[in-house]
Amino acid sequence: MSAFNELDTSTQTELEAAAFRRLLKHLDDNKDVQNIDLMILADFCRNCLSKWLVTAAETRGESLSYEEAREHVYGMPYSEWKELYQPPATPEQMAAWEAHHAKKKAAKQG
């Protein structure tokens, strides 16, 4: 059993929440890392985090819209962030995404 699992549930939750806040700060400090790059390398992006927040809220009976969650994750309205920091995907990024997606699809089938 890991030391983390030996911590009380409240402490585990606090540590996980702190790590999540640190992840959001890290992403905010590295706006040059595009969502498509995250999807290619890690199979998740800022939008995924937003969707996970909505799901977590729903699980607890709370109301949080996708746009509200994205504003929290991005630190501003998504439309503003996109305009300021998200250039169109390059042909190389799109090719890498398509290759990644095809590899995942093949793995599921085989």
Packed helices 78-85 and 66-74: angle between N→C axes, nearest 10 degrees: 40
Residue 94 lies in a domain: yes
Q: What are phi and psi of 55, to 5 degrees?
A: -60, -40
Residue 19 lies in a domain: yes
* pLDDT tens for the chain, residues 1 to 110: 589 999 999 999 999 999 999 999 999 999 999 999 999 999 999 999 999 999 999 999 999 999 999 999 999 999 999 999 999 999 999 999 999 999 999 999 97
Global pTM value? 0.89
Query: Do the beta carbons of residue 73 and residue 31 sit within 8 Å?
Result: no
Structure tokens at 97: 């995404």
* 1 occurs within a structural domain: no
Domain total of the chain? 1
In a domain, 35, yes or no: yes
User: Sign (positive/negative) of CA torsion 96, 23, 33, 48?
Assistant: positive
74: containing domain: 6-106
